Chains A and B, each alone.
Chain A
Amino acid sequence: MFLKNSTLIRHLLFISVFIAGISHARHLVTASTQKNADVIQTWLLNEFQPSTLSLEQQKQELNWFQEAAKPFKNMTIRVVSERITTHHYESNVLAKAFHDITGIHVIHEITGEDDVIKKLQAQIFTGENLYDAYINDSDLIGFHFRSNEIVQLDSFMENAGASVTLPSLDLSDFIGINFTTGPDGHLYQLPDQQFANLYWYRADWFERTDLKDKFYAIYGYQLGVPQNWSAYEDIAEFFSIHIKEIDGQRIWGHMDYGKRDPSLGWRISDAWLSLGGTGDKGLPNGLPVDEWGIRVEGCRPVGASTARGGALDSPAAIYSVSKYIDWLDKYAPPEAKTLNFTEAGKWLSKGNIAQQIWWYSAFTAELTKADTPIVYKNGKPKWKMAPSPKGAYWEPGMKLGYQDTGSWTFLKSTPKDRMKAAWLYAQFVTSKTVSLKKTLVGLTPFRHSDILSEEMTQKAPYLGGLVEFYRSSGKNFWTPTGTNVPDYIQLSRLWWQYIGLAVNGKLSVSEAMSNMATAFDDTLLSISQNSYSECAPMLNAKTDKDVWLNKEGSPKRKVDEKPKAKTLPYEDAINVWR
């Protein structure tokens, strides 16, 4: 009886412990669910406002991330990107939010753009999983689609990545999606931030009556936004040589940089040759010769030297680089020759530069900071951005400038699980839930929906023309490096090495461009020998330069390199954007 009773008691005890356990577990699950919901709510209310989504839609997106990330909880992933405000925000704020919401720890490294590319290259070279994702410029698209090293995101999203692809990602909302799609129709990168290369000038000085009158007296036309390099040159001379000082400060009519390091190459390949008019007509980059002076037949690069049908040592290229060096010598601050991209970028906020022919809108956030001499007390900038002036060889139908999108890139050598976790993070930092806030912080808009938002309308007067540019059709005429360039990493290092020799006076511009064109041809040959791509280079035979110069299009014969100067008022100058 006692035994029976004790068995009964044991059973009763067991049942009551079991029920209590279920109840406790249920309580824990409820508490955990509540905690997850609280985390989402906290981030939504404290950080991710404003948004183009309603609060409920934002919640749905974040719930989806929380659920989709479960298999990867407690994983640590590593990504790398360049050093701009947008990526600092991702690294310091969004990576933490992502960790709180999903449990995936992200180490988001920030470094120089050049270092990002070296690391990408190192992973390809070694096969080691250095990073799980890279944010690198879409300039590399020519390499990505030929290399067989990069994950095709469209295929990934449909297959292995289907369960980790955000249903509301909305690829058509990404402004730069065309830049990251190869000629084979595959998507190789997901845009994360976008910027354009534009003309930058001190609107407050250009509007001053005394300066306008003096300019007219010297040059015989109105001081305004330069439409060609002749006018830009006059304005540079006007401020550097004739005005020299404003409010007791030495000022300059031009700013650039000339230090012989990799960033020197970007200046030339992004801007000088394309607006100088080196390539052919046709968007996005000129066909068959692009702004790098590389000719293609079909999808195969066939040469960069004029002797092979390219234009890298053509009169237009020599003119472009000559102007770059001439103006750097005559009109920029003496220090400019010793500066690189990052160092030179800090000069505009000092308030002593009147205009800069090439300026990256990625620095809008830096140049709208309240405590600088280039911003009014009411927070509006004293400067404006406008289309860059065009060189003597430029013709209607050619690209109007450089634009690029820093984009998420995944290597095939990354283990699949790690890639999936990184893909979730990439989608999180570009999701509509966070994108408008990120855009307002970093000012590198990458979604149509954000740029068209009411918040951006309100912000527009404080951004010097950024919103107007991205709302216009003008953005379609500013393009990144194109697919004529089969290997950006190998070819881009030639730019700065040869141009640097010309800047230092060790070679004439003509010699430097001729040597560089030969080096390009040699590199194209080397790429062709190591590639199985059907779009690998296949060099044309060398022939007399005149054979090519006598044909239509690029390479072009020498033209009048000092056409009549032309300026326009700001409102008319930005008409090209409308």
Chain B
Amino acid sequence: MFGDKFSSLLRTLLISLAILGQANSIHASEKTIFLHFVTFIDPPYTFDKQEINKKGLVEIILNTLMKNIGIKYDIRILPAKRAEISARTTTNTCILPIEKSQEREVFFSWVSPVVISKHGFFSMPYNDYIALNALSDARPYRIGSYLGSGIGEYLDSFEYKVDFAAQNEANIQKLNVNRIDLWASDILSAQHISKHTGIEITRSKLDFFTTLRAIGCHLDIDNEIIQKMRNQLQAMYRDGTMYAIIQKFKADSFHDDR
């Protein structure tokens, strides 16, 4: 009899402990979900806070995405190369927005596309004699790009006359002093740089390439978290959230014939 009571008590105690333990473990796992994001200065996607103290496009997208799935995070700005290495080598860390290239594919778990960028050719309004109908029409001209730019490398691989500057911002000055004929750039970046520097440029003469940029996460991050982020990102496209966010960043002169 005593034995029965004791064993019943013990069973109750064990079950209680198990439930308590499970609750603690759930709580612990919830507490441990905290992601670190790294990004790099790439206006208007991420601003240099010393120059413009406001959130860039990807920071707003990320904020909406993470808020909707209830995962806490922080974000740091690093030089681009360091940011990529940091996300590759540091657990619980993701980088955005980076291009999901064949070379990079293996190093990250991907949530894509977080940014869909069109790239175009720009020139000075007072020097607007160049007509482009196809990419090959740009072949005779000196094209400005910047070191590390995927689009610059793309044009270079087809043997276009690409002149690489250290930073994209320098290209608008080069256009202005006629050191290049065309500036190949992400359209939003070009428009931001134009406004920021006060140097007027033409609308994109030809939107010749689209790139998809993604969130690349350290491979150790739980696949369930990655899947949650993917599902939320998809929902944001489907319910118009992404469209609304992006519209805020579109300059008035944005060339879109659709």
Contact = CB atoms under 8 A, between A and B. Distances in A.
Interface of A: 76, 78, 80, 91-92, 95-96, 99, 105, 107-112, 114, 118-119, 122, 125-131, 260-263, 340, 493, 496-497, 500
A110 B134 CA distance: 11
Interface in B106-146: 106, 112-113, 116, 133-136
Nearest to B113: A122
Interface of B: 100, 102-103, 105-106, 112-113, 116, 133-136, 154, 206-210, 212, 234, 237-238, 242, 257-258
B136 A91 contact: yes
Given A107-B207, A262-B102, A497-B106, A99 B116 contact: no
Contact of A125 (B106, B207, B209, B234): B234
Nearest first, the 4 closest Cβ-Cβ pairs linking A and B are A126-B237, A92-B136, A261-B102, A122-B113
B223 to A, nearest CB: 11
A261 B105 contact: yes
B210 A91 contact: no
B209 A109 contact: yes
Nearest to A75: B257
Given A78-B207, A131-B210, 7 more contacts: A78-B210, A96-B133, A96-B134, A111-B209, A122-B112, A125-B237, A496-B106
A92 B138 CA distance: 11
Q: What secondary structure prevails in chain B residues at the interface with A?
A: mixed
B238 A261 contact: no
Contacts of B257: 76
Nearest to A263: B102
7 contacts: A76-B258, A107-B208, A126-B116, A127-B237, A130-B210, A262-B105, A500-B106
Contact of B103 (A108, A128, A261, A497): A261
Contacts of B234: 125-126
A346 to B, nearest CB: 12
A108 B134 contact: yes
Contacts of A110: 135
A500 B209 CA distance: 30
Contacts of A108: 134
Residue of A96, A122, A130 contacting most chain B CB atoms (<10 Å): A122
A247 to B, nearest CB: 30
Contacts of A91: 134-136
A92 B135 contact: yes
Contacts of A128: 116, 237
A119 B212 contact: yes
B113 A126 contact: yes
A105 B133 contact: yes
Given A127-B237, A128-B116, A261 B106 contact: yes
A115 to B, nearest CB: 8
Nearest to B100: A118
A107 B212 contact: no
Nearest to B110: A118
Contacts of B106: 260-261, 496-497, 500
B244 to A, nearest CB: 14
Contacts of B242: 126
Residue of A96, A99, A125 contacting most chain B CB atoms (<10 Å): A125
A95 to B, nearest CB: 5
A122 B133 contact: no
B221 to A, nearest CB: 17
Given A125-B237, A128-B237, A263-B102, A109 B113 contact: no
Contacts of A340: 102
Contacts of A125: 113, 234, 237
A55 B242 CA distance: 51
A112 B104 CA distance: 14
Nearest to A100: B133
B117 to A, nearest CB: 11
Contacts of A118: 100, 112, 212
B116 A130 contact: yes
B222 to A, nearest CB: 16
Contacts of A493: 105
A80 B208 CA distance: 10
B195 to A, nearest CB: 25
Contact of B210 (A112, A119, A260): A119
Contacts of B116: 122, 126, 128, 130
Contacts of A92: 134-136
Contacts of B100: 118
Contacts of B113: 122, 125-126
A281 to B, nearest CB: 35
Contacts of A99: 133
A119 B206 CA distance: 19
